[in-house]
Amino acid sequence: MVNKYFIKTALIFVFCFFQIQQSFSESKQKPNIVIIMTDQQFADAMSCVMGNDYLSTPNMDLLAEKGVRFTKAYAPNPLCLPMRTSMATGLFPHQTEVLTNNNKKIKATEYSFLGKIFKDAGYETGYFGKWHIALKEEEKEIHGFDTMFPKSNLDAEPAIDFIKQDHKKPFLAVASFLSPHEICQWARKEELPGGPISELPALENLPPLKTNFGIPQNETDVMAFMRESYHANRRFPVGEYTNADWRRLAWGYNRLIERADDFVGEITTAIKESGQEENTIVVFLSDHGDCAGSHHWNQKTVFYDESARVPLIVKWEGVTKKGTSNVLVNTGIDMIPTLCDFAGIDIPDGLPGKSMKAPILDKTPNWKRDFIVSENHMVQGDPVDEKALQPFGRMIRSTNYKYCIYSEGEERESLVDMQFDPGEMVNQAKNPVYKKVLEQHRSFLKEHAEESKDKIALEMLNEL
């Protein structure tokens, strides 16, 4: 006679075994996620958007061909540290109190972090390349990325090695590359990280001046001042640029984007060669853009589209829609909710962002968003005529309009009709035809500021 305790023990063992098997199977079914991030790339700076007369990005183009490209994706703050910290925490820059590149540390224990969320959900996690988050790379117990190569800004090999490993669990990998950020060194006439780029072509073969190269009509006082202030800064010496110099800058920027495209190709090839392409979500984006001559401006920080609007492509082979989406995206606050949604992970409480899963899968009948918000704090300018400003700004982007407000100046608001003026050449804030639109966008910002406890935005509105 079989011992009844033996039977009971065996049944328990079998039950546990199948539970473990089921858990492992479910874990394996979760998608891998690879985030490829460039640095300082404008949304339209890809040959699939602007054509290949002066720029060729075949690897980015292929992602766009196979996935969904968001045409209205904006940085939460068009500057490295604030944006990257926002994406890592899912919070607005004013919530993390990281508004410039000078912030070095945040109150890390108060926040959820992208890597930690996925690690706790059973993912292997790796981060490769430029870090620039307001938290030390060594604090793995907080940020959650177990495998770290934070210095490999111009080398795809560490990320490739991680992707090609024999993973027992799904993985989250971030491959963060420096290019085309080296355009800063180009402006300073310094040696470029990663070595030189090819010799300049003849003037007639350089890209033409941007169609919005001119100064906008009726621009705010602070933007007029800050242009002069930034041009006076010896770190970004473009104040004496000729038209030919601006064209050379644009040419160099394109070459650096092509360098970034090579890295994108190396990562996507590694995913394919690993045999995991059909179970891997690829997210391609940049932290912010670069004006590269638009409105006589180089660098980032400002709310012009060339600075604040970024590439965002999501591709999951055979799953995501193909084509473009014009829904409004904030790449800082929306990343964690979106990736958690795809991975079947509970989204942490209290995050202000929204999952983009529905528009990524082309299921948007009930998906709606009226506006998104971006923030800045312009601190890198030099005094002009002994006057120095470090103004705060807020931007509301709705479907057809862009509204900006600043903490300094007599004329502190701008409103651009993006449908008819995509180059942002005319400020309509004082135009009576747009009075109701202006008031609506003020109310959008007030709604956001009250909900997210943005005291700076409320103060700016109260001072109108």
CB count, 10 Å around CB of 288? 29
CA separation for the pair 378, 82 (Å, rounded): 12
pLDDT digit string, tens, across residues 317-358 = 999 989 999 999 999 999 999 999 999 999 999 999 999 999
Question: For position 21, what pLDDT does the model report?
Answer: 44
Token couple for 298: 């180089």
Provide the CATH topology of domain 31-361.
Alkaline Phosphatase, subunit A (3.40.720)
Question: For position 4, what pLDDT does the model report?
Answer: 53
CA separation for the pair 225, 406 (Å, rounded): 12
Domain ranges of the chain: 31-361, 375-462
Which ranges of the chain have pLDDT less than 70?
A: 1-28, 103-105, 107-109, 150, 152, 234-236
User: CB–CB of 100/79 below 8 Å?
Assistant: yes
116 to 62, 131, 163, 336: CA distances (angstroms): 31, 15, 19, 11
Q: Please give the model's pTM, rounded to 2 decimal places.
A: 0.92
CATH of domain 375-462: 3.30.1120.10
CB count, 10 Å around CB of 349? 6
Angle, CA 443 vertex, CA 415 and CA 358 arms, to 5°? 90
CB count, 10 Å around CB of 365? 6
| Sheet of strand 280-286: strand arrangement | 147-149, 124-129, 171-176, 32-38, 280-286, 312-316, 68-74, 323-330
